[in-house]
């Protein structure tokens, strides 16, 4: 994806997603020679912040190649200083003109949070941190009258 402005970058991502959905992905810039051209520098046209779910691979669903996107992923779209610093790095240092937040359905982090809230038992370990950061958006969604997992996932991403 050539370096561009936000409108062009978004159009390119949408076109790639349309190819993916239609089953006609072209898998651009994914070879060894393409990787070699990126050894010294990168110039991504978009920053994508998404869930760490292994079923949602950004370069595949947007039919993009190596170096096209700077992808930051965490379970449940959980924000912290490292995530914000990574996004800031891509925008300020790499000059990426577009930030995309990618949501998805079937989010395990949202389901785990719903389970923890409903059962009153927060998981141990570092998973607790994820649940604690997802919980406020779920509680706000419930306060707004949202009831389904899909609605609450949508609320959490926003």
CB count within 10 Å of CB 118 equals 8
pLDDT tens-digit map of 40-66: 888 899 999 998 888 889 999 999 999
Tell me, what's the pLDDT at 137?
92
Question: Using CA atoms, how far apart are residues 19 and 86, in angstroms rounded to an integer?
Answer: 28
Question: Using CA atoms, how far apart are residues 115 and 77, in angstroms rounded to an integer?
Answer: 18
For the chain, residues classed under CATH 3.40.1050.10 are 6-102
Q: How far is CA 118 from CA 115, 138, 141, in A?
A: 5, 11, 14
Gyration radius of the chain over CA positions: 17
Nearest to 64 by CA among 76, 77, 48: 48
Tell me, what's the pLDDT at 3?
59
Nearest to 89 by CA among 37, 38, 44, 40: 44
Reported as a pLDDT band with limits 50, 70 and 90, residue 2 is low
pLDDT tens-digit map of 123-132: 899 999 999 9
pLDDT tens-digit map of 76-130: 989 999 999 999 999 999 999 999 999 888 888 888 999 999 999 888 999 999 9
CATH class of 6-102: alpha beta
pTM of the model: 0.85
């Amino acid at each position: 994806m050539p370096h561009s402005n936000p409108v062009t970058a978004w159009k390119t991502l949408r076109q790639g997603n349309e190819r993916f959905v239609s089953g006609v992905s072209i898998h651009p810039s994914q070879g060894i020679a393409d990787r070699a051209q990126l050894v010294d520098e990168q110039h991504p046209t978009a920053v994508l912040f998404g869930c760490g779910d292994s079923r949602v691979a950004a370069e595949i669903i947007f039919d993009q190649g190596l170096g096209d996107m700077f992808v930051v992923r965490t379970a449940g779209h959980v924000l912290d200083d490292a995530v914000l610093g990574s996004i800031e790095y891509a925008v300020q240092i790499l000059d990426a003109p577009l930030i995309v937040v990618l949501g998805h359905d079937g989010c395990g982090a949202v389901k785990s949070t719903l389970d923890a809230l409903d059962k009153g038992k927060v998981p141990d370990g570092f998973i607790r941190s994820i649940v604690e950061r997802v919980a406020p958006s779920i509680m706000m969604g419930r306060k707004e009258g949202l009831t389904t997992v899909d609605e609450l996932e949508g609320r959490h991403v926003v």
